[in-house]
Amino acid sequence: MHRPPIQHCKNCGQAVVYRLPDDGDTKQRAVCTVCHTVHYENPLNVVGTIPVWEDKVLLCKRNIEPRYGKWTLPAGFMELNETVAEGAARETLEEAGAQFELGEFFSLVNIARVGQVHLFYRARLLSDQFDPGFETIEARLFSEDQVPWDEIAFRTVAETLKRFFADRRQGRFATHVFDIT
C-alpha cells in the first residue's frame, strides 16, 4: 500500500488528511486536522555545472547512492536561501573541489515522474587540480571521445553532455529545455 508522503503537520506535529483545501485549490493537499495548515509537495531542484578545461569536461565518480561508482557532472540538490547559480557553484566546489568561473545557464531538464527539475550552467575551470569532497571517489577530465557513456549515472547528465558537445561542435551554445519521461 502506498503511504502518503506527508503524514504529520510540519507546524504542530498532528496528523494530516489529504483533501481539497478550503481556499479553492483544485488538488488534494496534506491539510492539518488541528491547525489547518496546508502542506504543498513541490519538485526538487538539482543544480550543477558542466566544468570545462581546454577541450575536456570534468566528471565526478559518485561515492554515494544512488548510482555509486558511476560518473556524473558535479550537481546536487539546491538548498534553501540560495539561488540556482549559487547552488550550482556550491555543488561544484563540494563534489569536485574545483576552482572555476561560473558561465552561462545551459539546460533545464524536467523529470516529472520523480518530481525533479535539473538545471546546469557551463563553467570554465581555472585549474586542472581538484580536491573532491566525501561524495566523490574521483574527479577527472574527459574529452568527448573518452567520456564513459555506459558508466554515466543519470540520463539527465548524459543528455546534457550530448547537447553540450553538439553545441561545441557547432561553435555556439544554446539554452536547452527538455523533458525526460
Does 29 lie in the same domain as 65?
Answer: no
Q: For residue 1, is pLDDT > 50? A: no
Does 119 lie in the same domain as 56?
Answer: yes
The tally of domains found in the chain comes to 2
| CATH code where residue 18 lies | 2.20.70.10
HEC assignment per residue over the chain: CCCCCCCECCCCCCEEEEECCCCCCCCCEEEECCCCCEECCCCEEEEEEEEEECCEEEEEEECCCCCCCCEECCEEECCCCCCHHHHHHHHHHHHHCCCEEEEEEEEEEEEHHHCEEEEEEEEEECCCCCCCCCCEEEEEEECHHHCCHHHECCHHHHHHHHHHHHHHHHCCCCCEEEECC
Does 97 lie in the same domain as 74?
Answer: yes
Find the mean pLDDT for residues 31-50. 95
Q: For residue 24, is pLDDT > 90? A: no
Range of the domain at 94: 44-179
Average pLDDT, rounded, for the chain: 95
| pLDDT range class, residue 4, cuts 50, 70, 90 | low
135-174 pLDDT, tens digit per residue, is 999 999 999 999 999 999 999 999 999 999 999 999 999 9
Does 63 lie in the same domain as 7?
Answer: no
Q: What is the predicted pLDDT for the residue at 6? A: 92
| CATH code where residue 141 lies | 3.90.79.10
Find the mean pLDDT for residues 23-36. 92
Does 65 lie in the same domain as 34?
Answer: no
Does 75 lie in the same domain as 131?
Answer: yes
Does 123 lie in the same domain as 90?
Answer: yes
Does 105 lie in the same domain as 87?
Answer: yes
Does 73 lie in the same domain as 19?
Answer: no
Does 141 lie in the same domain as 56?
Answer: yes
Does 63 lie in the same domain as 25?
Answer: no
Find the mean pLDDT for residues 1-7. 67
102-142 pLDDT, tens digit per residue, is 999 999 999 999 999 999 999 999 999 999 999 999 999 99
| pLDDT range class, residue 23, cuts 50, 70, 90 | confident
| pLDDT range class, residue 3, cuts 50, 70, 90 | low
pTM of the model: 0.88
65-103 pLDDT, tens digit per residue, is 999 999 999 999 999 999 999 999 999 999 999 999 999
Does 25 lie in the same domain as 98?
Answer: no
